[in-house]
């Protein structure tokens, strides 16, 4: 039961260009969405989140867009840097619940 | 910067043995969690803990699992009789209100 899907297992982007990571969900009860970054042998690190009452949230180089009608969100990183190379997980939660439902992750590689 | 710490970083155990995974959440956080990630699969929710009791658990969190907050700082996950399929990275997380902060994980290998 894949409620949160990240259909691209990997993405390769040149340094300085924009990275766009995509996430789709099926559960219309989700009302909070998060992006986490994970390096090997480390735990997920929180990046940015968005509530379902918004359609955009920006924090420095990171912007998350939410399209509720399409049940789609995306993370934009601009400009991309080599240090951004990691696995990016999309996660979602329903109102009045604690648990996060994670996607399978997208491995981003930023090359010089 | 405060962080969630987990010990040990790697635990190898024989099938059928009990293991305890330890976590020290961020001190002013109120909500505590365990997640796991089997190799090659996605991160899965196990259990959430608030106000000294389990607030939610997944179907994975069956009777062989238990959690405890024995004092004001530690949060433990006990697996009573480990199975080969329990081999995974186990992540502890805590949050003040909204975003969860994760520890670096404990790699559990059941042989």
Whether B42 has its CB under 8 Å from any CB of chain A: the answer is yes
- Residues whose CB is less than 8 angstroms from the CB of residue A20 and which lie 6 or more positions away in sequence, other chains included: A11, A74, A75, A76, A77
Residue A105: pLDDT band by 50, 70, 90 thresholds? very high
From the list B10, B47, B12, the residue with the least C-alpha distance to B31 is B47
B48 touches chain A (CB under 8 A): yes
- Taking contacts as CB-CB distances below 8 angstroms, the residues of chain A near B42 are 89, 102-105
Cα B19 from chain centre: 11
Token readout for A97 is 């619940």
A1: pLDDT strictly greater than 70? no
A65 lies within 8 A of chain B by CB? no
Q: What pLDDT is recorded for position B40?
A: 85
- φ/ψ region of A3 (left if φ > 0, alpha if ψ in -120 to 50, else beta) reads alpha
Instruction: Give the C-alpha separation, B90 to B108, whole Å.
Output: 7
Residue A39 has pLDDT above 80, yes or no: yes
Residues 77-106 of A with CB under 8 A from B: 89, 91, 97-105
| pLDDT value, residue A41 | 82
pLDDT over 70 at B96, yes or no: yes
**Least confident among A64-78, A80-94, B5-19, B39-53:** B39-53
Q: What is the pLDDT of residue A2?
A: 79
Per cent of chain A over pLDDT 70 is: 99
A98/B102 touch (CB, cutoff 8 Å), yes or no: no
Q: Evaluate if residue B99 carries a pLDDT over 70.
A: yes
Chain B closest-CA separation from residue A6 CA (Å): 11
Q: How confident is the model at residue A27 (pLDDT cuts 50, 70, 90)?
A: very high
Contact status, residue A11 vs residue A109, Cβ threshold 8 Å: yes
Q: CB–CB of A12/A111 below 8 Å? A: yes
Can you tell me the distance from the alpha carbon of A29 to that of A84, in angstroms, rounded to the nearest whole number? 31
pLDDT averaged over chain A?
95
CA B30 to chain centroid, in Å, comes to 15
Q: Reply yes or no on whether the pLDDT at A10 is more than 90.
A: yes
Q: What is the mean pLDDT of residues B79-92?
A: 96
Chain B residue whose CA is closest to A104: B42
**Residue A66 and residue B28: Cα distance in Å, rounded?**
31
């Amino acid at each position: 039961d894949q409620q949160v899907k990240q259909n691209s297992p990997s993405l390769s982007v040149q340094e300085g260009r924009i990275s766009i990571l995509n996430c789709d969900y099926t559960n219309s009860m989700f009302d909070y969405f998060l992006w986490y970054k994970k390096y090997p042998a480390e735990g997920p690190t929180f990046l940015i989140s968005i509530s379902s009452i918004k359609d955009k949230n920006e924090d420095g180089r990171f912007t998350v867009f939410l399209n509720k009608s399409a049940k789609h969100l995306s993370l934009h990183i601009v400009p991309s840097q080599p240090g951004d190379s990691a696995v990016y997980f999309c996660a979602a939660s329903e109102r009045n619940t604690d648990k996060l439902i994670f996607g399978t992750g997208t491995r981003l590689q930023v090359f010089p | 910067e405060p962080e969630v710490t987990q010990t040990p970083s790697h635990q190898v155990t024989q099938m059928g043995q009990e293991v305890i995974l330890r976590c020290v959440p961020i001190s002013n956080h109120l909500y505590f969690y365990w997640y796991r990630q089997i190799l090659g699969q996605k991160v899965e929710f196990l259990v959430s803990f608030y106000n000294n009791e389990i607030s939610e658990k997944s179907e994975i969190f069956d009777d062989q699992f238990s959690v405890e907050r024995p004092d004001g700082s530690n949060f433990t996950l006990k697996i009573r009789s480990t199975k080969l399929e329990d081999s995974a990275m186990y992540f502890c997380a805590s949050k003040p209100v909204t975003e969860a902060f994760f520890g670096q994980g404990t790699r559990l290998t059941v042989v």
